[in-house]
Amino acid sequence: MSELLKVPTMAEFMAEGKQPEVLFWVGCAGSFDDRAKKITKAFVKLLNKAKVEFAVLGTEESCTGDPAKRAGNEFLFQMQAVTNIEVLNAYEVKKIVTACPHCFNTIKNEYPELGGNYEVMHHTQFLKTLLDDGRLTVEGGEFKGKRITFHDPCYLGRANNVYEAPRDLIKKLEAELVEMKNCKRTGLCCGAGGAQMFKEPEKGNKDVNVERTEQALEVQPEIIAAGCPFCNTMMTDGVKAKDKEAEVPVMDIAELIANAQDL
Amino acid sequence: MAYLPNIIFVILLGIGVGFFVKNVKKLTRNIKLGHDVDVSDNKSQRWKNMAMIALGQSKMVRRPIAGFLHIVVYLGFIIINIEVLEIIIDGIFGTHRIGLSVLPEPVYGFLIGAFEVLAILVLISVIIFWIRRNIIKLARFWKSEMTSWPKNDGNFILYFEMVLMTLFLVMNATDTHFQSINTCNIISQHIAPWFNGLSENALHAVERTAWWLHIMGILVFLNYLYFSKHLHILLAFPNTYFGKLKPKGQLDNLEAVTKEVKMMMDPNVDPFAAPAEGAENAMPAKFGASDVKDLNWVQLLNAYTCTECGRCTSECPANQTGKKLSPRKIMMDTRDRLEEVGKNIDANKGEFKEDGKQLLDNYITREELWACTSCNACVEACPVSIDPLSIIMDMRRYLVMEQSAAPVELNNMMSNIENNGAPWPYNQMDRLNWKNE
């Protein structure tokens, strides 16, 4: 399959004197984390299917600086930001799509003041426009009638008020969308944000991801849908901690749509 | 001697208002200890937020029971205070129910009738609030930061309101003239019979006592505000006006850092050049915040506005899973430390004398700060637009940029980003390898 993936880089577009429709910002998780790489590939398959002229930065991409900033290291964040902005502006990038809500939030909200002004979309928003414009069609396929619950990523939901795009996509799968008791603006964090992903949690009586997974399992879903590579890891670990990994997979929205199309 | 009550009234009113003005001045002085922040943008959106969130209570009703009861008490408090206007005029000029002589009887009756209905509704709501706190013991009122003063404060306010509402109704019930008019004394007519056995003089004495206690109670309550979480009845308005307008996920970019980074990236900069005139003053004394004076004044206003309802803490993922972090405690600590700094300034002739304490460690521990997931649940939950996350972030900045005191795993993460552009130790040259895997 993978040899069929078309993943052009900005440098290649530049060499041909062309501009892509959109830059796909893969992000560190999407580039290096084994689980997240599957999400990246699923999204690329959809982009290929919809014949979207996209490009990636490839080896010219670097961490947005989000975890550094949230850990308190403003210097490192701004160094990363300014470097990335230089690359993006050199390629005259106008529009960016990313499958990581942390990259999404940082580039969309924190880069403009530092000289980086782009239209930034989360991949669920982008996929929704592809469907709305008829460039991509989706039928329920294997997910028709399945109970799916969606875990809101904090940096997509509360941080940027995007609640509907991922839900609209689940509905397009003709699946049964079930909401957890904490959802949308009261959605409970998976426990990874604010650089927590990279450290051990403080002493407490439970891990946040286990608490959130319990909320998800309460509504007896067949699938837990996520829209963030970090949430995905946390929820997958939570489901494992509950010995449910065989029954309840944690899947990104892009994977659901790609799988529904047998991509 | 006939004017003695008027004179006493004016003196007490003067003292009550005078102290209040003094407290407000202290409050503004303390808030201004924070550094400046530009919140002059987007005025129309800010007025709208204030109208919706503070005046319209739009975020209170997200929890329907508490929200509904709160609206009753809030409306009751504002509307019944129209009656205070009459009390003040009566008190100064020695009149009795001046409203009756300037307003048509049915209008006056309607007004007082409405106040009476609201008073009884407020009384009932306040009793339910008390039950929620003390009998049902809602978890958010019994967290570890809600002991001693914060716990008592919550109850004192409820007792105050119970007493004030009762006095208002008793005052009306024992006013024989008012009862004889018998228009819209909807509630007090049922209380009047309780005093049936009393002589006219005794009845008058009860009425006068209730009247005096009611207005004195209001003046005392006014001056209690400064020491209490109840300050929110005033500060909710400016606080919602100055609240964050940007997307919740957007943290501010430190300007001083931007300048340094731009210099580092600019190949034309001479690193050995003497700093421009005034440039050294332009650099902040420190990055991030370790004490209240390192915060901005909106954050300090936030601290005084907090009414310790605990909605933030009850939504906080760290707190829910037993970690020490409580966003409410962050706000309470900030206010307590700010008060301490303010008292220090008062005691030292307007100059702050180093007291060897600070907000970090003496009030807020590092363990609390590092437990935050920056999920914004606390910010979303606050009914009056307080942003505890911004204080947590500013304090993390101090820990990392001034003290290099991040947890060791975070230092690893950061050196990975520095060295290879990812939080994990992967080579940047391998970033596109997934394509061929």
Residues of B whose CB is below 8 A from A201: 321, 323, 371
d(CA A145, nearest CA chain B) in Å: 32
Q: How confident is the model at residue A3, as a pLDDT?
A: 52
Q: How confident is the model at residue A263, as a pLDDT?
A: 79
* CA A152 to the chain's CA centroid: 11
Q: Compare all CA atoms of chain B with the CA of A30 and give the residue at the minimum distance.
A: B434
Q: How confident is the model at residue B1, as a pLDDT?
A: 65
CB neighbours (10 Å) of residue A142? Answer: 11
Domain A138-260 indexed as CATH 2.20.25: no
Residue A24: helix, strand or coil by DSSP? strand
Residues of B whose CB is below 8 A from A114: 253, 258
Q: In this predicted model, what pLDDT tens digit does every residue of B110-143 receive, in sequence order?
A: 899 999 999 999 999 999 999 999 999 999 999 9
d(CA B381, CA B314) in angstroms, rounded, equals 9
Q: In this predicted model, what pLDDT tens digit does every residue of B318-368 receive, in sequence order?
A: 999 999 999 999 999 999 999 999 999 999 999 999 999 999 999 999 999
State the alpha helices, DSSP H only, in A50-163.
66-71, 74-90, 101-105, 123-132
Q: Which of A110, A189, A198 sits opposite B250 (nearest CB)?
A: A110
The helix-helix angle for B148-173 and B105-134 (nearest 10°) equals: 150
d(CA B368, CA B364) in angstroms, rounded, equals 7
Interface of A with B in 8-27 (CB under 8 A): 9, 26
Burial of A90 (0-12, 13-18, 19+ CB in 10 A): exposed
Q: In this predicted model, what pLDDT tens digit does every residue of B196-208 receive, in sequence order?
A: 888 989 999 999 9
Q: Which tokens hold the place of B86?
A: 């009459």
Q: Compare all CA atoms of chain A with the CA of B420 and give the residue at the minimum distance.
A: A62
Q: What's the whole-model pTM score? A: 0.94
Q: How confident is the model at residue B267, as a pLDDT?
A: 74
CB contact B327 to A (< 8 Å)? no
Domain boundary assignment for chain A: 2-129, 138-260
Same topology between domain A2-129 and domain A138-260? yes
- Phi and psi at residue B182, to the nearest 5°: 60, 35
Q: Which of A62, A189, A211 sits opposite B421 (nearest CB)?
A: A62
Those residues of chain B that have pLDDT short of 70 are: 1, 270-284
Given strand A119-122, what is the order of strands in its sheet?
A: A54-55, A22-25, A95-98, A119-122
Where do the DSSP E strands lie in B30-90?
Answer: none
Q: In this predicted model, what pLDDT tens digit does every residue of A121-163 receive, in sequence order?
A: 999 999 999 999 999 998 768 899 999 999 999 999 999 999 9
Q: How confident is the model at residue A1, as a pLDDT?
A: 46
Q: Which of B325, B399, B417 sits opposite A72 (nearest CB)?
A: B399
Q: How confident is the model at residue A2, as a pLDDT?
A: 46
Residues of B whose CB is below 8 A from A206: 321-322
Q: How confident is the model at residue A230, as a pLDDT?
A: 98
Task: Answer yes or no: do B264 and A41 touch at CB < 8 A.
Answer: no
Those residues of chain A that have pLDDT short of 70 are: 1-3, 140
Q: In this predicted model, what pLDDT tens digit does every residue of A23-49 receive, in sequence order?
A: 999 999 999 999 999 999 999 999 999
Nearest residue to B368 (alpha-carbon basis) of B400, B315, B326, B332 = B326
Q: Which tokens hold the place of A196?
A: 């927590």
Residue B185: helix, strand or coil by DSSP? coil
Q: How far is CA B58 from CA B71, B298, B309, B363, in A?
A: 10, 21, 16, 32
Residues of A whose CB is below 8 A from B266: none
Contact A95, A118 (CB under 8 A): yes
Nearest residue to B264 (alpha-carbon basis) of A92, A60, A80 = A80
Q: How confident is the model at residue B266, as a pLDDT?
A: 77
Task: Answer yes or no: do A7 and B261 touch at CB < 8 A.
Answer: no
Tell me which H or E stretch contains B45.
helix B43-49
Task: Answer yes or no: do A110 and B418 touch at CB < 8 A.
Answer: no
Residues of A whose CB is below 8 A from B372: 194
* CA A189 to the chain's CA centroid: 15
Task: Answer yes or no: do A75 and B260 touch at CB < 8 A.
Answer: yes
Q: How confident is the model at residue B404, as a pLDDT?
A: 94
d(CA B235, CA B216) in angstroms, rounded, equals 23
CB contact A61 to B (< 8 Å)? yes
Q: How confident is the model at residue B261, as a pLDDT?
A: 87
Strands A22-25 and A54-55: parallel
Residues of B whose CB is below 8 A from A203: 322-324, 367
Q: How confident is the model at residue A139, as a pLDDT?
A: 75
CATH class of the structural domain A2-129 = alpha beta
Tell me which H or E stretch contains B378.
helix B377-381
